[in-house]
Amino acid sequence: MFFPDSNSSVKLGRSVLKDVYYFGESPMLDCNQFIINDKSTGELALFDSGNGVSLKGLFEGMNNLGLDYRKITKVLLTHEHVDHVLGLYPLIKALKSNPPKLYAYGETAKILREGDESKIFPGNLGISPKMFNLEIIPLDIVDLKLDELIRIGSNFTLKVFHTPGHSHGSVCYYEETKKILIPGDLVFTGGSFGRYDFPGGSLDALINSIKFVNELDVKYLLPGHMNISDNGNQQVDYSYKMVQSMKSFF
């Protein structure tokens, strides 16, 4: 097993605010995951699927918080990188009797729908599906639309923004009323931001995308890696200032 500890470790979770839960990334090549609970139906929306190896740990972490993984009915992806999408393959097997709908935008949706292993595992990463005990297959993906509104029960409405720079298919999910931003790997806490040297990355696009989200009213910043924050505007502004400084080196 490529990551022997990930399969056995519980993904520790906690409530961020009412009906919103955070599960921290496993030690290697994984991502933070977030769940929104539709209390009216008990259905759960999962944001990003992790690396697949950590899926059992996610289920155990959910159980510790009284969340039933069998209630996951939506998986909303932020982008196409392996640490965010590989969990889809074991997840749909685990939920084969009632599979969730899988949502992605643009290039992310295309890559997953085609099941093209070479695009999911670019050669420069030096990794393969065998390292994760996975078989890459074409997936049934629901295409997200620009500025689409995703409703989760009556209490959450998230708007989809296309925010390229880290990858072609990167999106952010924004809940305006509760001031929640789920940016994937666009911005992180502490002034950090997503890499732009992967296939489909662009520093100029990254700067423009961070500038865009810096104009949103954000309290809860729930990024794909590192810590989360309840001082979102300040954290996004740190990232914007830092990424702007990169231009002076090029």
- Total structural domains within the chain: 1
Q: What CATH number does residue 119 fall under?
A: 3.60.15.10
User: Would 8 be classed as within a structural domain?
Assistant: no
Residue 2, domain member (yes or no): no
Residues lower than pLDDT 70 in the chain:
1-8, 123-125, 250
Each residue's pLDDT tens digit, 223-247: 999 999 999 999 999 999 999 998 7
pLDDT the model gives residue 5: 45
Question: Average per-residue pLDDT in the chain?
Answer: 93
What lies within 8 Å, CB to CB, of 158 at 6+ separation is 76, 149, 150, 152, 173, 174, 175, 180, 182
4 in a structural domain = no
Give the residue numbers spanning the domain of 23: 13-249
Say if 118 falls within a structural domain.
Answer: yes
- Evaluate whether residue 3 is within a structural domain: no
Instruction: Tell me if 29 is assigned to some domain.
Output: yes
In a domain, 5, yes or no: no
